[in-house]
Structure 1
Amino acid sequence: MSGLPLSAIQAGQVLTVGLGAPVVSGVIATVEARMQGRRGPRVLQPFYDLHKMFRKESVAPIGSGWLFLAAPVIAIASYLTVPMLIPVLTTYPLPLATMGDILGGGFLLSFASFLVAVAATETGDPYAQLGASRAKTFGAITEPVLLMVFFTVAAVTATDLPYALGETVRSGPAQVVRPSHLLATGALLMVILYETARIPIETHTGTNELGMIETARPFEHSGPYLALLHWGSMIKQLVLFTILLNIFAAPWGMSSGTHLLPVLGAAGALIGKSVLLGLLIAALDNSFAKLRLFKITEFAAAAFLLAIFAVCTLFLGGG
């Protein structure tokens, strides 16, 4: 039996992230509702919501420019580019995997977030501008954490290619329990908690203006553009989960060949691992009372300290 073309596998990585993201979000939302004693939505509810929004009319605020409508399209294109750079289904790099490193993937995620924030400021809506301002203010604190985590990765593997780090972690148990690796993984997990609005400050679906960040930026978008923003947010969550799981924490379950069944199995393994991680994060989210907004700086500072400790342990403690 001949294997799949590498280009088809690479397209499969993009489709796995694009179509799997609503599934992961739906499972997390359903289980999270059960944790709170509610019936909650259906697992496939994100697909129904996206279908409904894609069928509605789009309305742009008076005075908004072309970037208001272009930002959701560019943002989701940026999110879907990252799966070409990171190990999603295979342990070996695919043809376009070397066009950017893990730092380039981080820049793409930041670029998409920046465009959405700029589009929100064009609306003139105070809530949208408030969410954009908060997102960029706190993003300026969390982005250095990512840089320090990626620097630790580069120091461990002598390269900043994500496939190389995954191969290093799979090489033996000693790599998994390496102190610098554990600290960097913890720092990355804290950044993911912020980026997916799961930190104990706001609810990721809340509309309370005192604490909302992620839900405020798309306030003025509607129709297909709002659907792209919601879909992009789910894709971004799964991309971050994939980086944490397939590069740092659990880089197993991926295909080492090109045959169809192992590739499909790798897609199922990624969705399963992402659901388990999402449920763990949801349990953490529901275990803490919501804190005041300014506590985000302390949360981000703790993540940055973990990343600093990872570097210090690597170079000074033999970690």
Structure 2
Amino acid sequence: MSGAASPILPIPLVQAAQVFTILLAAPGISGVIARVEARLQGRRGPRVMQPYFDLAKLFAKESLAPEGASGFFLVAPLLALACYLTVPLLIPVLTAFPLPLGYMADILGGGFILSLAGFAVAVAAAESGGPYAQLGSSRAKTFAAITEPVVLFVVLSVALVTATDLPYAMAATVRSDITQVIRPAHLLAAGALFMVILAETGRIPVETHTGTNEFGMIEEARGFEHSGPYFAALRWGSAMKQLILYTILINVFLAPWGLAATPALAAVGLAVVALLVKASLVGAGVTLIDNSFAKLRLFKITDFVAAAFLLAVLAVLTLYLGGG
């Protein structure tokens, strides 16, 4: 005797589920990464749920702003958070089929939205007057000028391989044939994106993601002058950015399997579990790399990003030479 069919969710609810999955799961993925990192270093480490407790404590604290800072200083964390909540509408987080808002922008447009979030946070840090915040802001924008062209070229190379720049169509192309993943051009482009993710999430080559006062800090330094709920928004947004980049890597480039083929409740629920498992595995791999290599000197970041750019160039060359 067959069981009852799973209820079908309304499409707007599925679309909202994509956003809330990124919103609610991002701190948990950061907690898993912190736990794995501690184990690799021989420490007990924090609880997996610790990022949620930290956010709750920050939301309960008082908010302060530096004297002389404009209103944008307080608006920037909320603007960044809004940008991070927009990107999940454009990429396949839970579903294999495109949702109504999935065609608002291509993957390049999603990259611009992520860049807007980083720009807003950098501007707020620059006008705070704090030396460490201004240092992080300056470095973030300097290195963004290097890494963002690499991201654009990676998107171009994958668009050439899959003949589209729409995230859902890219994922469908990869999902249609498993051999698509091991095509040389595709692997080279995915490798370039992975190197960019390492740099963008503060894992390598120069930054410490733990927020200690080191000369190499970039991402963490920009929020030094924020406090209370606004600092919580920055921390939460940083975790969301990390999960979004992981989602693009696994659900668009490398492993777009486990996505819901229908809006059935059971299928969407399994897709949530699949995303969390895949993101945790990627996070564990990133942590292993982060703890296996010494941090590079600040001026070496150009070499690291140049290597990623070279991989993207090789992907395009390989495509036209018959290896794609």
Aligned residue number for residue 162 of structure 2:
157
Task: Name the CA distance, whole Å, in 1 between partners of 2:65 and 2:35.
Answer: 32
> In structure 2, how many angstroms separate the alpha carbons of the residues matched to 1:315 and 1:148?
15
Query: SS of the residue aligned with 1:273?
Result: helix
**Range with bigger deviation, 307-316 or 254-263:** 307-316
Is residue 2:214 matched to residue 1:229?
no
Which residue of 50, 68, 87 maps to 1:63?
A: 68
Q: How does 1:74-85 map to 2 (within 5 A)?
A: 74-85=79-90
2:201 equivalent to 1:196: yes
2:205–2:304 contact (8 Å) kept in structure 1: no
Counterpart CA distance in 1 for 2:157 and 2:205 is 27
Say if 1:92 and 1:163, in contact at 8 Å, map to a contact too: yes
CA distance in 2 between partners of 1:318 and 1:310 (Å) = 9
- Conserved 8 A contact 1:127-1:209: no
Sequence identity of aligned pairs in percent?
66
Q: Say whether residues 1:48 and 2:53 are aligned partners.
A: yes
Aligned to 1:38: 43
State the shift of 1:39 in Å: 1.5
2:287 aligned residue:
282
Q: How does 1:261-280 map to 2 (within 5 A)?
A: 261-280=266-285
CA–CA distance in 2 between the matches of 1:153 and 1:291?
29
CA deviations 1:82-130 (Å, max 9, x no partner) are 0000000000100110111101100000000000000000111111010
Picking from 236, 251, 257, the partner of 1:246 is: 251
Deviation, structure 1 residue 40: 1.1
> Could you tell me which residue of structure 2 aligns to residue 104 of structure 1?
109
| Structure 2 partner of 1:256 | 261
Give the aligned residue type for 1:293. L
* Alpha-carbon separation, structure 2, partners of 1:205 and 1:76: 21
Shift of 1:57: 0.5
TM normalised by structure 1 equals: 0.98
The aligned counterpart of 1:213 is: 218
1:206: how far off? 3.4
Match of 2:97 in 1: 92
Deviates more, 1:130-139 or 1:149-158: 149-158
* Cα deviation, residue 285, structure 1: 0.3
Separation in 2, partners of 1:54, 1:17: 19
Name which of structure 1's ranges 217-226 and 144-153 shifts more when overlaid on structure 2.
144-153
Q: Which runs of 4+ in 1 moved over 3 A?
A: none
Structure 1 residue 122 and structure 2 residue 127: aligned?
yes
1:292-303 aligned within 5 A: 292-303=297-308
How far residue 80 of structure 1 moved from its aligned partner, in angstroms, is 0.8
Contact 1:241 1:274 in 2 (8 A): yes
In structure 2, the residue matched to 1:19 is 24
Contact 1:26 1:44 in 2 (8 A): yes
Give the partner amino acid of 2:144. Answer: G
Query: What CA distance in whole angstroms lies between the structure 1 residues aligned with 2:310 and 2:173?
Result: 24
Equivalent residue number for residue 307 of structure 1: 312
Cα distance, 1:262–1:144 mapped onto 2, change above 3 Å: same
Q: Secondary structure at the match of 1:312?
A: helix
Supply the distance in 1 between the matched residues of 2:220 and 2:171 (Cα, whole angstroms): 33
Query: Are the counterparts in 2 of residues 103 and 160 from structure 1 also a CA contact under 8 Å?
Result: yes
- Equivalenced residue count is 319
Contact kept? 1:78, 1:112, Cα under 8 Å: yes
Deviation, 1:178, is 1.0
RMSD: 1.0
SS in 2 for 1:53: helix
Tell me the amino acid that sits aligned with residue 125 of structure 1: G
**Secondary structure of residue in 1 paired with 2:185:** helix
Q: Distance in 1 between matches of 2:109 and 2:272?
A: 24
* Residue in structure 2 matched with residue 141 of structure 1 by the alignment: 146
8 Å CA contact 2:128–2:225 kept in 1: the answer is yes
TM-superposed CA distance for 1:312, in Å, is: 1.2
User: How far 1:318 sits from its partner (Å)?
Assistant: 4.3
CA–CA distance in structure 1, aligned partners of residues 96 and 146 of structure 2: 32
Whether the 8 Å contact between 2:199 and 2:205 is mirrored in structure 1 is no
